[in-house]
Each structure stands twice: as C-alpha cells, then as structure tokens.
Amino acid sequence: MKPCEEEGPGAAAGGDPWKECMEAAVQLARRAGQIIRKALTEEKQVSTKTSAADLVTETDNFVENEIISALKEKFPSHRFIGEESTAGGSKCVLTDSPTWIIDPIDGTCNFVHRFPTVAVSIGFAVNQELEFGVIYHCTEERLYTARRGQGAFCNEKKLQVSKETDKSKALILTEIGPKRDPETLKLFLSNMESLLKAQVHGIRVIGSATLALCHLAAGAADAYYQFGLHCWDLAAATVIIREAGGIVIDTSGGPLDLMSCRVIAAGTKEMAMFLAQEIQTIHYRRDDEN
Ligand code: IPD
C-alpha cells in the first residue's frame, strides 16, 4: 500500500511513511479541542441514537465534518470511519486501504452535562494494522500520541503502563456502554460484583472510554474492560496502550477484534487474564454488521 507520498511531496520524509498523516491528525485534534472546549458551556441540541443513554449533539456532527473534510482534501484516496457518519448510515468496514477512524467527541454524555472529561480521538490503520493514534483531552489540553514502534507520549512525556500483576492491588476502569435493558444491566453489575469480590482496590467509570484507556497507558490504572464500545473508541487508544507497553485483547483472552465492540486492556498479561477469567460476555452487535 502506498503511503501519504501519494498525496503530495515530502510525505515520506525520514523513512516514516505516515508522518504527514499523523501531523495532520495532531493539528486537527487540537483544533477540534478548541471548538469542543468553547461549546462545552454553551446550550446544546441533544438527540439520542441507539438508546436513551447514547447521545449526540450538533457539535459531534460539526467536529466530525470538519475533521473528515480537511483530511479528504489532503488525502483524497483514504477511507474514513466516523462515529456520526456511521450513525448516519455510512458503512463501517475496515479494508486494507489507509483508513482514518474518528470519534469527534468521546464522552458525549459528559459533554452534554458539562462534565469536563471529553476527548477527540483519531486513529489510523493501513492493511488493517493500526499505525498511529492521537487522543486530545479537550479541557485539560493533554495530547496523547503514539506511532507504531515509536513509543507513546502525553504532551511529549513518555508513557509507561503499570507493571502490577496482583489483582488485589488493581485499580480497574470500565465504561457502562449504551444498553440499559435488564439482562445487560444484570451482567454489567454482576461483572462489577465479581471483581469487587475478588478484592480489587477499586473500579472507576469516567464517562469516556478513550480517556480511561489513556489513563491506563499512563500507568494511572492497571486494567480496563468494556462491552459496547466501538472501533472509534478503541483505534487510537489501542496504539497508545501497546506503545506504552500494555496489552489490548478480546474479552475472551484471544486477539483483539477492532469491530467486536468489546475489549480488555491491561498493563500486564496477568492482569488481562484475570479479567478475561472473571467477566461474563455482554452481547453487542459488531460495528461492521450495521
Ligand atoms: C462512549 C463513551 C462511553 C462508553 C461508550 C462509548 P461517545 O463514546 O466513551 O463512556 O460507555 O461505549 O461509545 O458516544 O461518548 O463517543
């Protein structure tokens, strides 16, 4: 697959074929962050998508349009998967083509409530392999970045996951996901109960899957699991965690499937396997089935 050099001169400089793409992602994430920061305290038009807890605002749509149209102009042959474009009916399929995977506001429910844990997430895959990830924490102005094989950083400070292997010393992160039917809630609460009975130190839910995963990459928590997140919540964060030395796998303990809407991430293999053994599956439709 030809890299960004296809699109213009100087793109493949320094033997890093996707450098220009990553620079564009950083610039667009920062610009989106400014828009989101400003909109956070303003009145919003809020609608629901798959459930009463799955929210979207005009800012989600505006930011996604801004990012995708800027990237399309620069890289016309690339493909795009965006949270709001998918909600609007676009196909969510990962091919071998260079593909941008975008969540314009991760933590939309937080955004609606002015709870300041919101991020922009931009991941990039080629030949179905994740090449880089950029996540911008809009209110704290923290930029998380990682390029495959080149480490993970937060505002240029190198990230390193926790090396904790003992479940009784674990701080675990999760997110609730959009479904609220009785069966889903029963499984969600029973998973929490199992972990608490296993005597972990604590469980946290912050309302943004991408930022929770960034905390894991920074060593501020030991493990993460979730059912009901999407490829746009996972793409950029997966590169960041792996480059910070962590593990991102399927909830069964097998390899990650980006479209499966489920994940375990951890600083160590022991912690990941502990979660895989403890938690029960909550079924969600795959992203590429829509
Ligand atoms: C959601 C948030 C939420 C998580 C969902 C995500 P959105 O993303 O990260 O905390 O539970 O699974 O899809 O809708 O705010 O972009």
DSSP structure string for the chain: ---GGGGSTTTTGGG-TTHHHHHHHHHHHHHHHHHHHHHHTS---EEESSSTT-EEEHHHHHHHHHHHHHHHHH-TT-EEEEHHHHHTT------SS-EEEEEEEE-HHHHHTT-S--EEEEEEEETTEEEEEEEEETTTTEEEEEETTS-EEETTEEP-------GGG-EEEE---S--SHHHHHHHHHHHHHHHHTT-SEEE--S-HHHHHHHHHTTSSSEEEEES--HHHHHHHHHHHHHTT-EEE-TTSSB--TTSSEEEEESSHHHHHHHHHHPPP-----GGG-
Q: Is any ligand 1 atom within 6 A of the Cβ of residue 243?
A: no
Angle at 77 between CA 143 and CA 83, to 5 degrees: 50
pLDDT at 3: 46
Give residue 158's pLDDT: 98
Q: What distance in Å separates the CA atoms of residue 101 and residue 113, rounded to the nearest whole number?
A: 25
195 within 8 A of 223, measured Cβ to Cβ = no
CA–CA dist 146, 286 (Å, integer): 26
**For this structure, is 282 an active site residue?**
no
pTM, full prediction: 0.95
Strands 247-249 and 223-227: unpaired
pLDDT for 272 equals: 98
| The one catalytic residue among 16, 106, 131, 175 | 106
pLDDT score for 15: 72
For residue 290, the model assigns a pLDDT of 66
Catalytic entry in 60, 233, 243, 287: 233
How many angstroms separate the first and last alpha carbons of the chain? 27
pLDDT at residue 2, rounded to an integer: 43
* Residue-level pLDDT at 16: 79
Q: Is the CB of 121 under 6 A from ligand 1?
A: no
Whether residue 64 has its Cβ less than 6 Å from ligand 1: no
Please list the pLDDT of the chain residue by residue as tens digits (290 residues): 444 444 433 344 457 789 999 999 999 999 999 999 999 999 999 999 999 999 999 999 999 999 999 999 999 999 999 999 999 999 999 999 999 999 999 999 999 999 999 999 999 999 999 999 999 999 999 999 999 999 999 998 999 999 999 999 999 999 999 999 999 999 999 999 999 999 999 999 999 999 999 999 999 999 999 999 999 999 999 999 999 999 999 999 999 999 999 999 999 999 999 999 999 999 999 999 96
Mutate to test the pocket of ligand 1, among 57, 67, 105, 106 (most ligand atoms within 8 A of CB): 106
Q: What is the pLDDT of residue 14?
A: 59
